[in-house]
Every structure is written in structure tokens, then in C-alpha cells.
Amino acid sequence: MSAGKLPWTSWRHVVKLDPDRAIANHQLEELGRIATDAVLIGGTQGITFEKTADLMRRLRIFAPSLPVWQEISDQSAVMPDADGYGIPVALNAGNTDWLIGKHVEAVEQFGRIIPWERVVTEGYIILNPDAAVAKLTQSAVPQSSEKAVAYATAAEQIFGIRVIYLEYSGKYGDPDWVRAVRQNTNVHLVYGGGIDSAEKAVEMADIADTIVVGNALYEKGMDVVRETVRAVHSLRK
């Protein structure tokens, strides 16, 4: 964000919806009733304009009160009517396209029409070497929590990034690593990966500012979302 309060700051529980995966209208309706704080539309593979537009349109119809943000991974699928945009910067990408290359291309092409006041930079640290995003970005996955902290500190202090996303996508992460980053930075800390129960949600939400639930919704259904939202909101922070 260019100025003011980051919308992220009040979000404790976010659901990530992948346009490449099927979700029924009644599930979106249910999602609207469960008090998750926001929906983030994003994914790594198979993202097209058509699939993203369909999901966006149905969210507006069936869950009209939910804030819908889009995490942009492909500039051909940008939704003009999203409430805001997360721009991932893959801090540990081996392929610099995902660190700055694609961002420069997008600015060259769309710079004058990008609503910067609705854009948040997400400094991703990819921590699961088996995740699709690790392969796509050819990530150098940190081998120690000290290295993960160094990435986060460099992002915060050198690059001025205010949101760090610890991405374990598909795998439950190590709370000690998340805690180490928490204790050594003042960023808004987002955790995502493998949250499929109230216990895991509480454990990570107790450390991070925002937790993201993705895969479990598709694998286990809406009960997981309900259970994790309730668990997170029972914590004081």
C-alpha cells in the first residue's frame, strides 16, 4: 500500500481459493456465512482469465459481504473489480522473474492503470521444496530458521516490505521457524500451509498475524473452515 493502514492488518483468518479447483455455489454461500476475514484468490497452476472471472463473479453473487483480494500470478487473469491485489515477490526465488522480472513487465504494460492504493506487496519466503510454487520459482529453500529470518530481515530492512508470507503450501510448517521470524521482525506475518484442524490453526495463529487455509477446504470441506475460523477468533491478539 502506498500509505495508511494495511487492510491485511485486521485479518486473522483468510481462505485462499484456487480458480483451477472446483467449488460449488452452495459452498461459496456457506463461506460467506462463516466469519473468515477475507478471500484471497490465487494459485500456481492452470490460472486463466475465464476460470478466475467465473470464481470472482460467483463470489460476488453468493458471498457478497466477503472482501475478495486477488493474488496476481499471471497478468492475463487480473480482475478489475477485486477489492485489492496482493503482489507476490518470491524473495528466495532462484529465477528472478518471480522476484522482479514479471513485476517490471506488468508495470511497463499496465503501470498507468494500476490502482496502487489497493496493492499490497507480499514478500514470500517459500519453505516447502516440494510445493508447486517452489518448483515454478526455482526457490532456494532455507535450510535453517536463521536463514529464513535473514530473508525476512533483508526484506523488511533493506527492501521495506511490510508483509511477509511464510509459504509451506501443502505441508504443515515448523512453528519454531515461524516464531523465529516473528521475534526478529516487525512485519505483518502471514502463515500458509497444511492447516486442516483447529489445533494447527491455533498454533500458527498464536504466532503469526494472519493464517491462510487453502487445500483443506477442497480436501475436507467447509467444516474445516468453520472450525479453524472459530479457533482463531477464540484467541486474543
Q: Which is nearer to ligand 1GP, 98 or 113 (CB)?
A: 98
214 known member of a binding site: yes
Q: Which is nearer to ligand 1GP, 52 or 64 (CB)?
A: 52
Residue 155 grid coordinates: 526484506
Whole-angstrom Cα distance, residue 24 to residue 230? 22
147 known member of a binding site: no
One residue of 16, 162, 182, 200 binding ligand 1GP per CB under 6 A = 16
210 known member of a binding site: no
What sign does the dihedral 110-111-112-114 (CA atoms) show? positive
One residue of 167, 203, 209, 227 binding ligand 1GP per CB under 6 A = 167
Measured between alpha carbons, how far is residue 57 from residues 74, 79, 215 in Å? 18, 10, 21
Least distance in Å: CB of 192 to ligand 1GP? Answer: 2
167 known member of a binding site: yes
* Beta pairing partners, 17: 41
Residue with cell 478489475: 80
Whole-angstrom Cα distance, residue 41 to residue 76? 14
**Contact yes or no for 63/39 (Cβ under 8 A):** yes
Give 91's contacts (C-beta < 8 A, 6+ positions apart).
99, 123, 124, 125, 151, 154, 155
- The amino acid that residue 133 corresponds to is V
HSE value, Cβ hemisphere, 13 Å, CA-based, for 137: 29
Q: Which is nearer to ligand 1GP, 195 or 231 (CB)?
A: 195
Least distance in Å: CB of 55 to ligand 1GP? Answer: 15
87 forms part of the interface with ligand 1GP (CB under 6 A): no
170 forms part of the interface with ligand 1GP (CB under 6 A): yes
Binding to ligand 1GP (CB under 6 A) within 174-233 occurs at 192-195, 212-216
169 known member of a binding site: yes
DSSP H or E stretch at residue 179: helix 175-184
Window of 59-67, 84-92, 153-161, 166-174 that interacts with ligand 1GP by CB under 6 A? 166-174
Interface with ligand 1GP by CB under 6 A: which residues? 16, 167, 169-170, 192-195, 212-216
Binding residues: 16, 18, 44, 165-170, 194, 214-215
Binding residues for sn-glycerol 1-phosphate: 16, 165-170, 194, 214-215
